[in-house]
A and B are shown apart, each in its own frame.
Chain A
Amino acid sequence: GAGVSQSPRYKVAKRGQDVALRCDPISGHVSLFWYQQALGQGPEFLTYFQNEAQLDKSGLPSDRFFAERPEGSVSTLKIQRTQQEDSAVYLCASSLEPRDTYNEQFFGPGTRLTVL
């Protein structure tokens, strides 16, 4: 497919469990973003990669959140010791150019995480 894909689409975790969410950006896209969207809210920025370099992780809510993009393509967002407040839709987006504000971000369908 030509778009951004994310897996799994739905994840239910017990409190305290670790989870890993995967993002496959559009091929050749340099920039990759992770957003968290809580129920009834807009997406909120978590972290940004330019190729394999994580240039901004200012939005990560705690040190339980970790993201990587080791080869500059697929990215994984890992949440350790999940808490109920982590329940949200996690959106991944990619764009063609680095840090170009005028460059459209293409979003994946998201992973809905529910922590019981």
Chain B
Amino acid sequence: DQQVKQNSPSLSVQEGRISILNCDYTNSMFDYFLWYKKYPAEGPTFLISISSIKDKNEDGRFTVFLNKSAKHLSLHIVPSQPGDSAVYFCAASETGANNLFFGTGTRLTVIP
């Protein structure tokens, strides 16, 4: 049973435009959410996170929005750059848990 879902396997965006990656979760106990970025042949790299006490967290070109009532979060990248092309994983955890629950990933392609 997939507790974290990314329903879009791929996304293509023109350089300079906004990229919006979406993620849904089912477990209401999740209280911490993360986005990881993965290049081929490398491990996932932490990008940005948000606690459930917030609804927005911003770090440079990256902003994560959390809608707890809808159990939905999104990652906005603006402006998108070709170097952002990678697979993006949404992950979630609950306080005291040992592990992260990952979505299946969205492959972002930024077209120059």
Interface residues of A (CB under 8 A from B): 4, 33, 35, 40-45, 48, 55-56, 59, 91, 93, 99, 101-102, 104-110
B15 CB–A CB distance under 8 Å: no
A40 touches which of B42, B99, B104 (Cβ 8 Å): B104
- B104 near A45: Cβ-Cβ < 8 Å: no
8 Å CB interface, B1-22 against A:
4, 6
Interface of B: prevailing SS: loop
Interface residues of B (CB under 8 A from A): 4, 6, 31-32, 36, 41-46, 49, 51, 89, 91, 93-105
User: B93 CB to closest chain A CB, in angstroms?
Assistant: 5
- B102 near A102: Cβ-Cβ < 8 Å: no
- A56 near B99: Cβ-Cβ < 8 Å: yes
Task: Return the 9 tightest CB-CB contacts between A and B, nearest first.
Answer: A42-B102, A107-B43, A45-B99, A48-B98, A56-B98, A107-B44, A104-B46, A43-B102, A109-B43
B89 touches which of A42, A59, A104 (Cβ 8 Å): A42
